[in-house]
Structure 1
Amino acid sequence: MPVDGVVERDPKSGVSASAAITELFEAVLDDTGDATVRTLVSESWQRSLAAAIDPATPLPPLRFDPAESRARLDAHPLHRVMPLLRANLVSIAEEAMHVVVVTDEEGTVLWREGASAVLGPADRVGLVEGSNWSEEAIGTNAMGTGLALGRPVQIHSTEHLVRAVHAWTCVAAPVTDPDTGRIIGAIDITGPRRTIHPAMLALVTATAQLAENQMRMQLAIADERLRARNQGHLASLRGTPGALVTPTGRIIAGDPFGEWPERVDLEPLSTGADRLRLQDGRVLHVEPLAEGYLLSMARRTAAAPARHSLSLRFLGDGAPTVVLDGESHTLTLRPAEILAALALHPEGLTAERLAFLLYGDDGNQTTVRGEIHRLRALIGTDVLKTRPYRLDAVVDTDFGTVRRALREGRVADALRTCSGPLLQRSDAPEIRGARDELEVGLRRAVLESDDVELVHTYATHRVGSEDLEAHELLVDMLPAGDPRRAIAESRVARLLAD
């Protein structure tokens, strides 16, 4: 990536860059003489002034409090590379009396860490979690200008448009998400103007590239798992051209190979459409899966028989939903319980066994047969087979995705996928057991992980928000100065009082 450095001393006059640019600052703003600054800086000043930024602005706007900023970081793609950023930058920043900052794509500070002697002065200029450092909010600075240009930038002293930060120099590099191809934030090092070393820009740039590479590796692993779990859906097309698509629109598998773009625009799906048009004119049918989408050239017909695709969405507060060959149906509780039980027992269940799993010892086979009859009318007799009752389709479920992630040790993925309890209103023995197994397994995996960020995510997640032990563990794990600790302590006190 191209970078912009700063000339520290005019080779002809010998005048220090700091003194010279102070004069230039006033001269450029007053439009007097022949004063000029770097093109990058002058163009940024023009954008900032056009956004009505006053050079006398004292502080950037505060968008979120520190606790909300941390919560936003937990949900942000950069959360996955925070250990790398800490390992590469924090110790250097502390020794050099600097502050390390991570922002989101809008320039809002999500995380800040550095030398304690510099944090106080940083507070006074608003370099705190939750503050917004975009050009539109506080004028020219490395974070905002780097995000605006999409390239690494160094802004020295009075190159900042706002006078309040003339005592500081900052270097920043944007980070691009390999999944979406969009800039998702910036990594910044800021310090007193005389302490920033020329190599800092190269360090921040290299660290941003390392972060992108690590995200790219994580993405490749996730893609391979997604392919392995959903290859059956693609195979179910039986020769009809089709592709597997991630939730962000990337095609990760296609048949025929080599005849698909890297990405498709999923925006039409937000309006309820079930078809997409590629740039080459091809129209594709879209079937939602638990973890993405299946594209196919046409709906399946009797002339081209294929296994059906069945997705079950049974976690969380919403109504249970089944998606059959791309068509979504909202279910009442009892048919959802039957489908969940059959998904948990792909080998099939007799009427007697199904009645016991749903009703216990009081189960009635006649009742079950009536429910099965109504369910077959909804999803088709070729999908719900009898003797034994079983699902003849390529089945994926949100609760199965969580269970699989736990088995594979991907605790963070399991927590992200688990939007809530499995059919939380169900009192059926089989569903209660699966629900408890899921929640207990997720809880144990988190509490035994020794990962403070994972424990914090769990404690603020709906499945762990009332877990006293999780909040007590979080209090023990968080350092005294972390604002999240006070929130966790308050939560512990409330849970104990209840």
Structure 2
Amino acid sequence: MDTETLNTTQTALNLAPDPLVQFDVLQRVHEATLSGSRSPLSPRPVISESWERSLAAHIDPDDFRPPIVYQPDEVAEVRSAHPLHAVLPPLRELLVSIADESRHVMIVTDAEGIILWREGPANLCSQADPVGLCEGTGWSERAIGTNAMGTALAVDAPVQIYSAEHLVRTYHGWSCAAAPIHDPDTGELLGAIDVSGLLDALHPAMFSLVNATAQLAENHLRRRMEWLDEQLLTKNMPHLARLRGEPGALLTPTGRVIAADRLSRWPRRIAVDAERVLLDDGREAQVEPLAEGYLLRVPETRASRRPTLELSFLGDNPAAVINGRKLPLTLRRAEILALLALHPSGLTAEQLAFQLYGDDGNPTTVRAEIHRLRGQLGGQAMRAKPYQLCAEVEADFLTVRDALNAGDAAAAVAACPAPLLSRSDAPAIRAEREQLVVAVRTAVLGHPDLDVLWQFAQSGTGRDDVEVFERLTRELPASDPRQAVATARLDWLLGED
């Protein structure tokens, strides 16, 4: 039910602006409705629905005594621990002075409708005490029937109650307006802010003022929550950093996610009432308590492991496979993937533009190309700022590099059937291709095993190398059939020159 509906008296009642005339009309509606006799007017929907709930809870319209939930010596301790304790200063600043001048009391309840604070003119407070409008008493609809505080909490919306719209007759001399206050963290009801006054002190702007004050209180709580989040982050970010790439998140004491690795999607809130929780995507996560808040960890399993990206870029026809799915590739996207694989710490758009195009590179062009590439790979395989591959990369040209670094010439030759992206003219790719060929060639020419040299001679990088075939023709025995093949190939190469 919206605020406008709750605050409109004209929907069912054509009331005069004079509070005493309103009282007379509402009194007749109240008596007719409760007695079951016919009334020329109907109560507002919010009122009739509240009366129904109150009567169903066995509230006696002639019994005005709200229950005493907390004794005076207990109230101070309860409210000091209540979240709304933090918003009392701005509430006082906005409402109490106005309440004093307009002969109203300001009241703040908890989510159960129990009054925790009441402030206002001393003479009005002395009139409120005998009817139980005081700290420690319960004002939910279940406790005392229709009233602004209890009804606002029941419908979770601002409400104004005029005189005889109260179910209990004792309160027909009072009018009040109330609005609920929510926890910005969990969204749960924390309580209500209420302004109550005697019938002749009713001010038409009070409903709007109370509603605005409730919003002010929620904004104050939100700013406080954000400040506490910052404190929590400052203290606990090292815990997240120590996961070293393992999926994880930092949680507030209520389980709200405030920081996480960029490789995973997390829900807004995690249940923290168990050591292990099942995430929406099926992963099982561990909840580890910290001094403040929690660290959520997702130990790597087969299901949660990083994506695997396989790159076959040696030769004329580059191919890429992500988690078993083949990716359609243009040469430019293959070049980008190769450069990112060669720079695992990542590259900026400016760096990529220079490596792809030289001094004429345009970072905007690179960003557009990477945007399309990320769409193919998925967000878990590539991140931005800087652009970086987050998948487990298995690349044939990296395998060649690793073999060379390990001094295993045979493995390097076996893994290098052709040059890197042989059709690419990108400056950085061309340089890497030439360096890789030179490194493999140098390794095999200095290797004593002629089988390794022969294998290199059959590859796309060695088949036109005169020096390779000179050594083969010189060192292969005349009885080795490869000697004649090597001699013929050398003669052809020399003839080509």
Choose which of 117, 123, 126 in structure 2 pairs with 1:120: 126
* Alignment partner, residue 2 of structure 1: 3
Give the stretch that moved more between structures: 110-119 or 67-76: 67-76
Contact 1:142 1:188 survives alignment (8 Å): yes
**Quick check: 2:54–2:141 contact (8 Å CA) kept in 1?**
yes
The alpha-carbon distance between structure 1 residues 235 and 142, as it changes in their structure 2 partners (threshold 3 A), is same
1:75-130, Cα deviation, whole Å (9 max, x unpaired): 01111111101101111111111111000000000010101111111001100100
C-alpha distance in structure 1 between counterparts of 2:80 and 2:242, whole Å: 37
Whole-angstrom distance in 2 between the partners of 1:6 and 1:240 = 56
Aligned-partner residue type, residue 143 of structure 1 = M
Which shifted more, 7-16 or 56-65?
Answer: 7-16
Amino acid at match of 1:20: V
- Tell me if 1:279 matches 2:284: no
| 1:179 matched residue in structure 2 | 185
Q: Distance in 2 between matches of 1:98 and 1:13?
A: 19
Deviation per CA, 1:36-76: give whole Å up to 9, x if none.
20000000000001111000112100000123112111101
Distance 1:148 1:224, change over 3 A: same
Select the structure of larger CA radius of gyration.
Answer: 2
User: How far, CA to CA, are the matches of 2:180 and 2:56 in structure 1?
Assistant: 23
C-alpha change, 1:25 and 1:224, in structure 2 (3 Å) is same
Q: Deviations over 1:241-297 (max 9, x none)?
A: 100011111000011267111111223x2xxxx101123322111111110111111
Letter in 2 for 1:99: V
Residue aligning to 2:30:
25
Q: For 1:67 and 1:205, how far apart are their aligned partners in 2?
A: 31
The aligned amino acid for 1:230 is: N
Aligned residue identity for 1:31: G
Q: Aligned to 2:161, what secondary structure does the other structure show? A: strand
Question: Is 2:132 the counterpart of 1:132?
Answer: no
Question: Which residue of the partner structure matches residue 216 of structure 2?
Answer: 210
Query: What's the counterpart of residue 36 of structure 1?
Result: 42
Judging changes above 3 Å, is the alpha-carbon distance between structure 1 residues 206 and 221 closer, same or farther for their aligned structure 2 residues? Answer: same
Distance 2:28 2:205 in 1: 26
Residue 150 of structure 1 is aligned with which of 156, 175, 184? 156
The TM-score with structure 1 as length reference comes to 0.57
Give the distance between the partners of 2:263 and 2:211, measured in 1 at CA: 36
Q: Could you tell me which amino acid in structure 1 is paired with residue 9 of structure 2?
A: V
Residue pair 1:7, 1:17 contacting (<8 A) in 2 also: no
Task: Tell me how far apart the structure 1 counterparts of residues 50 and 97 of structure 2 sit (CA, whole Å).
Answer: 31
Q: In the aligned structure 1, how far is the partner of 2:31 from the partner of 2:95?
A: 34
- Cross-structure match for 1:98: 104
Specify the SS of the correspondent of 1:266: coil
For residues 283-329 of structure 1, give each alpha carbon's deviation from its aligned partner in whole angstroms, at most 9, with x where no partner exists: 111111110111111179xxx9xxxxxxxxxxxxxxxxxxxxxxxxx
Deviations along 1:340-362, whole A, 9 cap, x unmatched? xxxxxxxxxxxxxxxxxxxxxxx
Identity of aligned residues (%): 50
Q: State the superposition RMSD in angstroms.
A: 2.2
- One-letter code aligned to 2:164: T
Instruction: Decide whether aligned partners of structure 1 residues 25 and 258 sit closer, same or farther in structure 2, where only a CA change above 3 A counts.
Output: farther
- The answer as to 2:68 corresponding to 1:67 is no
Q: Secondary structure at the match of 1:127?
A: coil
Task: Give the deviation of 1:6 after TM superposition.
Answer: 5.2
Contact 2:105-2:118 at 8 Å conserved across structures:
yes
Q: Say how many residue pairs are matched.
A: 297
1:111 maps to which residue? 117
Paired AA for residue 170 in structure 2: A
Aligned-partner residue type, residue 296 of structure 2:
L
Match of 1:223 in 2: 229
Q: Which runs of 5+ in 2 are unaligned?
A: 306-497
Question: Unpaired segments of 5 or more residues in structure 1?
Answer: 305-498
Matched, 1:295 2:301: no
The separation in 2 between residues aligned to 1:155 and 1:33, in whole angstroms, is 22
Q: What is the CA–CA distance in structure 2 between the aligned matches of 1:265 and 1:147, rounded to whole Å?
A: 26
> In 2, distance between residues paired with 1:108 and 1:11?
31
Indicate how the Cα distance of structure 1 residues 257 and 98 shifts in structure 2: closer, same or farther if over 3 A, else same: farther
- Are the counterparts in 1 of residues 247 and 264 from structure 2 also a CA contact under 8 Å? no
| The one of 240, 243, 247 aligned to 2:249 | 243
